[in-house]
Structure 1
């Protein structure tokens, strides 16, 4: 089978979108409006098609992304999206061919990592990706949460919750989002198109239902967070409201704002259930409730996957709460990031250098991806046999250095 891998031309974008929908098992219908909207924000030089005798049988698109890391730093990522292989061409090494070329190009550009949201768990580990951030969704039974029925929905610290519209969110949201990235690892930048799509402007891949928007301001009037949510309209046989409020987006850059927005959502009249949307696994929501059992986990899964391309950039971009040194022997079959590295870290900064010293730990590049945002335990990976401890106690020392106080969170699917 002879395949051609290349960027698509403007006249081929419609065919590329049909192949994309075919790969994702969606109706392969593409409108002129969709083609025009996609063309306006796609970098066609990084929108790849795999052609078999002129027909597109696989899709692959990337774009430059800024990703927050531990301590408020950032990494430049090769964000991988819209990866499909048509049913007629699966299990033939098509994705391996495209992935190898893209990762090599990203390495050449100087990107620190490649990032993606995996549609299926088993696919990407073989290319050196590891799940660096997970996500959890809760369903809160408000009637059993033990909340004061006289609650007003307003904060008790002098702050306020006020309703807004999408236009205001597009104005105030980007700064709140940037502030979140300074305190939480795993947050990708959200560009203008992301804010437009998230507030119903322009082409929407799915039918749009306008949400409600609630904005939190501190006692001084500073915007510190917002929530977008929708509600159904359901009543039981006794003519009692049993509505569910579903959170579409909740971004808060201070603990006070996060608490206030959840308290507001759990105080809505007629709402008996709140669906949280995808949150960090250590979100404060359950413990805000007098009875945390009222928050039932309905989903818990991997979210953000990272493929380390430059070990030094990844480890030097973050902060460290303690001081220490580690020598890591990183295995990488693709030859992009392998080697032996010495990490010298302290709260004042860090340095990573190539070394010939004896290694403390040996691990695959995919396991380094798991560890890169401070979420995973080196001790646990060692117990699983995915990290080899060569110096006694090195796994514990690595956990002290690498683990973050709060788990990383990726609020956006890309």
Structure 2
């Protein structure tokens, strides 16, 4: 439904002096204590980027918020593309249904297109909102809960890896030193992963605290037999005893690993901690290896499965040329983009050896689809044939969905480990 604009409400970039009012609106939208603390203001001011914090103002009061920042997203094959990462999107309950999000989104995406960003990204709090702006769910996530006594792991084992590596418990300062290089290795090999800047590491290790209730997690690092850091994890545990028996849960906040052996070692470590009877995995890829690291995979049950990273393509040519392909083929796509950023007809010539070349064309289309559905296909997770069956994609040539899947789908699912 289209809503008439409200010219009395001013949508514009905020100034740094307006940051407290903007944060109050953010906190209100996310149902947090409204007034930002001095500590939060002090922590956030150095991160303020003029032009990328938008607000809607009814008089002097901020009633809607929107923020974006520079990001890199890993495409299939390991190349990265510049992304416009969107966060802190709120509209105050008193000002809903007035088109404020539409106005803020239009401003931000136009600026991203002008900057040369290939895509925009976000994590959607609610599913129905962002499809109308050309976003599509490009990665999904799964969370497992592990019943430790049922894993089949020997409770008498030492907890040390059996491959010659070792696990160390470290502090936040160590993580800030060791983590960035490991993460760069991991994200370059993981389609759907996004960059982490220095602020991410400081926020997630307590060096910067926006949230006064933040508490320090435990950090575990896995080193190979040669001493190389190959995995890191952050986790917290509760203190839950009854009937003189422990019923404690370890909750993983994040875990990254550059090798399956390192990942396996950290999961086994988490399942070997005294008094821990349950492990919550945090956000993992839907085809994560985790259940099969356990002698009894049924000990890990799925407790959450949902869409995760949403992508909005702003440049079809650069997006399709950035990724690699699983075979050889030609495909002509008719891309519908109601907002006019990147709609049109494109010819993709894909090569497993040389990658893909993409050019605008007037040739007959093989497949017609919306830009949001193209985003879901671009990272290799979605099936064109499934979208055809759902009526979201139209085959202009019989078998085009099957050809699309043969070229674009990946053997392992894309995954974004991060919330932003």
TM-score, with length taken from structure 2? 0.96
Equivalence for 1:307: 312
- 1:341 and 2:355 aligned: no
Q: 2:373 aligns with which of 367, 371, 374?
A: 367
- Within a 5 Å distance, the mapping from 1:136-147 to structure 2 comes to 136-147=142-153
Deviation at residue 254 of structure 1 after TM alignment: 1.4
Equivalence for 1:326: 331
Cα distance in structure 2, aligned partners of 1:262 and 1:324? 41
Equivalence for 2:27: 21
Cα distance in structure 1, aligned partners of 2:307 and 2:289? 19
Equivalence for 2:276: 271
Cα distance in structure 2, aligned partners of 1:212 and 1:34? 23
Deviation at residue 370 of structure 1 after TM alignment: 0.9
Over aligned residue pairs, what C-alpha RMSD do you find? 1.2
Equivalence for 1:397: 403
Q: 1:226 aligns with which of 225, 232, 238?
A: 232
Deviation at residue 110 of structure 1 after TM alignment: 0.9
Cα distance in structure 2, aligned partners of 1:63 and 1:326? 33
Equivalence for 1:357: 363
- 1:286 and 2:291 aligned: yes
1:265-295 deviations in Å (ceiling 9; x for gaps): 1111211101001111111111112221111
Deviation at residue 42 of structure 1 after TM alignment: 2.1
Deviation at residue 33 of structure 1 after TM alignment: 2.2
- 1:296 and 2:301 aligned: yes
Deviation at residue 210 of structure 1 after TM alignment: 1.4
Gaps of 5+ in 1: none
Equivalence for 2:132: 126
Equivalence for 2:3: none
- 1:152 and 2:120 aligned: no
Cα distance in structure 1, aligned partners of 2:187 and 2:216? 26
Deviation at residue 400 of structure 1 after TM alignment: 1.2
- 1:103 and 2:105 aligned: no
Q: Tell whether the 8 Å contact from 1:184 to 1:406 is kept in structure 2 after alignment.
A: no
1:286-311 deviations in Å (ceiling 9; x for gaps): 11122211111111111110011000
Q: 1:135 aligns with which of 136, 141, 164?
A: 141
Cα distance in structure 2, aligned partners of 1:242 and 1:296? 17
Gaps of 5+ in 2: 1-5
SS of corresponding position for 1:172: helix
- 1:179 and 2:185 aligned: yes
Cα distance in structure 1, aligned partners of 2:342 and 2:158? 54
SS of corresponding position for 2:164: coil
Q: Tell whether the 8 Å contact from 1:78 to 1:111 is kept in structure 2 after alignment.
A: yes
1:13-65 deviations in Å (ceiling 9; x for gaps): 00000011112222211122211211111213210111112221110111111
TM-score, with length taken from structure 1? 0.97
Equivalence for 2:213: 207
1:229-270 deviations in Å (ceiling 9; x for gaps): 111122231x22221111111011111111111111111121
Deviation at residue 206 of structure 1 after TM alignment: 5.2
Query: Aligned pair count?
Result: 413
1:98-140 deviations in Å (ceiling 9; x for gaps): 1112111111111101111111111000000001011111100
Cα distance in structure 1, aligned partners of 2:112 and 2:304? 33
Cα distance in structure 1, aligned partners of 2:317 and 2:258? 29
Q: 1:250 aligns with which of 255, 258, 262?
A: 255
SS of corresponding position for 2:70: strand
SS of corresponding position for 1:153: coil
